[in-house]
Amino acid sequence: MDERFDAIVVGSGPAGTTAALCMAREGLKVIVLERGEYPGSKNLFGGVMYTAILGKLVPKFWNEAPVERYVAKRRFNLLSETSSVSFEFSTKDFSDPPHNNSFIALRARFDRWYAQKAAEAGALLVPETDVIDVIRKDGKVVGVRTQRSEGDIYADVVIAADGANSLVAKKAGLRSDFSSDRFTTGIKEIIELPKEVISQRFGLEGNEGAAVTFGGYPSGILCGGFIYTNKDSLSVGVTTYLHSLVENKMQVSDLLETFKKHPMVKPLIEGGRAREYGAHLIPEAAYKGKMCDDGILVIGDAASLLNPSPIFLEGTNLAMASGMYAAQTIKAAKEKGDFSRRSLDLYPQLLEKSFVMQDVTKYGKIPEFVTKNPQFLTDYPDLLCQSAKELFTLDERPKAEKKALVRKIMTQNSSSLKVARDLYKAYRNLL
Ligand SMILES: Cc1cc2nc3c(=O)[nH]c(=O)nc-3n(C[C@H](O)[C@H](O)[C@H](O)COP(=O)(O)OP(=O)(O)OC[C@H]3O[C@@H](n4cnc5c(N)ncnc54)[C@H](O)[C@@H]3O)c2cc1C
């Protein structure tokens, strides 16, 4: 391609599209290269989109975005073999405009709609284009090579927004090769059910949705499960550490099947028909590479900008925020006519000042914490369920005896002091 651009964005997920949208609105000449047949066609996530950044960039997005349901209910379940201890927050506040918290979406629909917003703002969107390398001149990144014939494309700056295992960042020497201890893997199935059945099973009205997450089962494996309510289907999946699968000689697909059979999960999905199935990497551990170099920036999952806390699990809004900061940086660099690393260094500075880096720094240690403290996903859910069962089994014993018994159950594997310390550790590291 002879044409030259201000910026090349590789990948049209939430990060890349946000960068393209913001730059196009500033009048920059932007090209977005996406390997999928259309934006979102290859993308998979659990289901919750957070609206803090989206609402700023597309005010009243709810009038046009492909929203499945607004999250009005969040439930966290700790599972034992047969029981569950849950915490639930429900509100009517999020399901009415201005929908200022979160909604459930399917990426094949959402990413396509969102990329169209960038195209309407003036970005050139080119799908079915696989970027296979970066092009350098005098040590600086000056473009990318695609699989197309005559597929070299040149620009002042390249944005690597190509997701968890970013080839572009690797080819540019900004991050190291794949390492299994830095990623978890997620697998998800879409299960079709009539809209009314979903609303009834999850206690929802109108456009309300539920985000339900699980920990503790299958026991012995470091994994979490989720069910998110779409309009007329459920997104059902599990995420797990790659090393935990190896240690337990399990495939991630076996894990999902086992999860779906749990007595607290089975009734929620019963009678449904599986429609789609997919797996994807999640870059849970904090990034160890560089955020920018001469002529290149790394954003979203490509820079592991994800909050893996079991309470929050946010990636899409951090991806959008990083795309927004990358666009601001490139606009400033263009005004100066300087795309060197020194000039692009504004991008990591903007990230550092924002919630993005503050959360990533705090929660990026979770994979290491959980791996070193497996009791939070193995022993404690079971002990909590045993304790709750004892507490709610009403018999002729006085309640003071019950309290003592609960204490005995909770400390059966360790001392009271160790349990108290563990609870404090969980509070500090996971919340
Ligand atoms: C199982 C699972 C559950 C999750 N649940 C949630 C959730 O509920 N809420 C949440 O906020 N986050 C969730 N996440 C995280 C979230 O999906 C990511 O953080 C987010 O998608 C990152 O956006 P991105 O644009 O950086 O990358 P991606 O969404 O991965 O987009 C990368 C894009 O680049 C394209 N691409 C890749 N390589 C090339 C190439 N060489 N050439 C051209 N194009 C390329 C891809 O096709 C894709 O379109 C979940 C992730 C998983 C896997």
* pLDDT number for residue 39: 98
Do residues 241 and 373 make contact, with C-beta atoms less than 8 angstroms apart?
no
Which atom of ligand 1 lies closest to the CA of 42?
A: 47
Which atom of ligand 1 lies closest to the CA of 187?
A: 1
Containing 253, the helix (H) or strand (E) segment is helix 252-260
* pLDDT number for residue 59: 94
| Number of structural domains found in the chain | 3
Ligand 1 within 6 A of CB of 107: no
Per 3-state DSSP, what percentage of the chain is helix, strand, and coil (rounded to 5)? Answer: 40, 25, 35
Same domain, 153 and 296: yes
Give me the CATH number covering residue 242: 3.30.9.90
* pLDDT number for residue 288: 83
Which atom of ligand 1 lies closest to the CA of 162?
A: 34
Most confident among 116-125, 220-229, 408-417 (mean pLDDT): 116-125
Same domain, 221 and 273: yes
Same domain, 29 and 119: yes
Ligand 1 within 6 A of CB of 236: no
Residue whose CA is at the smallest distance from ligand 1 atom 35: 11
Residue 232 resides in a domain:
yes
* pLDDT number for residue 72: 95
Model confidence pLDDT, tens digit, residues 33-74? 999 999 999 899 999 999 999 999 999 999 999 999 999 999
Domain range enclosing 252:
184-282
Distance between Cα 102 and ligand 1 center (Å): 17
Same domain, 297 and 388: no
pLDDT band, residue 285 (cuts 50/70/90): confident
Residue 73 resides in a domain:
no
Looking at per-residue confidence, does 397 or 260 come out higher? Answer: 260
Nearest to 247 by CA among 265, 226, 222, 230: 222
Do residues 6 and 25 make contact, with C-beta atoms less than 8 angstroms apart?
no
Residue 225 resides in a domain:
yes
Give me the CATH number covering residue 160: 3.50.50.60
Residue 87 resides in a domain:
no
Containing 252, the helix (H) or strand (E) segment is helix 252-260
* pLDDT number for residue 303: 96
Residue 246 burial (CB count, 10 A)? 10
Ligand 1 within 6 A of CB of 75: no
Ligand 1 within 6 A of CB of 298: no
Same domain, 190 and 294: no
Distance between Cα 80 and ligand 1 center (Å): 31
Looking at per-residue confidence, does 150 or 75 come out higher? Answer: 75
Distance between Cα 303 and ligand 1 center (Å): 11
Average pLDDT over residues 208-225: 92
Which atom of ligand 1 lies closest to the CA of 318?
A: 19
Distance between Cα 45 and ligand 1 center (Å): 7
**Residue ranges of the alpha helices (H) in 31-144?**
52-57, 107-121
Same domain, 39 and 134: yes
The CA distance from 165 to 281, in Å, is 8
Same domain, 221 and 293: no
pLDDT band, residue 121 (cuts 50/70/90): very high
Ligand 1 within 6 A of CB of 319: yes
Q: What is the mean pLDDT of the chain?
A: 94
Looking at per-residue confidence, does 236 or 100 come out higher? Answer: 236
- Name the phi and psi angles at 153, rounded to 5: -130, 140
Residue 198 resides in a domain:
yes
The CA distance from 213 to 257, in Å, is 16
Percent of the chain with pLDDT over 70: 100
* pLDDT number for residue 248: 86
Model confidence pLDDT, tens digit, residues 413-430? 888 899 889 889 888 888
* pLDDT number for residue 265: 97
Do residues 212 and 204 make contact, with C-beta atoms less than 8 angstroms apart?
no
**Residue ranges of the alpha helices (H) in 139-241?**
167-171, 195-202
- Supply 423's token pair: 């609870």
- Supply 248's token pair: 């337990």
Same domain, 126 and 258: no
Nearest to 39 by CA among 103, 106, 113: 113
Nearest to 15 by CA among 155, 166, 127: 166
Ligand 1 within 6 A of CB of 383: no
* pLDDT number for residue 187: 96
Ligand 1 within 6 A of CB of 10: yes
List the helix and strand counts (H, then E) for the chain.
16, 17
pLDDT band, residue 182 (cuts 50/70/90): confident
Residues 6+ apart with CB under 8 A from 80: 216, 217, 219, 381, 382, 384, 385, 386
Residue 331 resides in a domain:
yes
* DSSP secondary structure code for residue 314 in this structure: B
* pLDDT number for residue 218: 85
Cis peptide before 39 (omega within 30 of 0): no
- The yes-or-no verdict on residue 331 having pLDDT over 90 is yes
* pLDDT number for residue 298: 98
- Chosen domain end from 282, 298, 324: 282
**Residue ranges of the alpha helices (H) in 26-154?**
52-57, 107-121
- Chosen domain end from 300, 324, 353: 353
* pLDDT number for residue 368: 85
* pLDDT number for residue 284: 83
- Chosen domain end from 282, 305, 328: 282
Ligand 1 within 6 A of CB of 68: no
* pLDDT number for residue 18: 98
The pTM score is 0.95
Same domain, 122 and 9: yes
Ligand 1 within 6 A of CB of 218: no
Do residues 265 and 214 make contact, with C-beta atoms less than 8 angstroms apart?
yes
Model confidence pLDDT, tens digit, residues 219-271? 888 899 999 999 999 999 999 988 888 888 889 999 999 999 999 999 999 99
Residue 360 resides in a domain:
no
* pLDDT number for residue 128: 97
- Name the phi and psi angles at 43, rounded to 5: -100, 145
Distance between Cα 415 and ligand 1 center (Å): 43
Same domain, 130 and 275: no
The CA distance from 204 to 88, in Å, is 13
Ligand 1 within 6 A of CB of 16: yes
Same domain, 379 and 425: yes
Residue 96 resides in a domain:
no
- The yes-or-no verdict on residue 300 having pLDDT over 90 is yes
Exposure on the CB side of residue 111, measured as CA atoms within 13 A? 25
Nearest to 377 by CA among 246, 224, 245: 224
Same domain, 200 and 269: yes
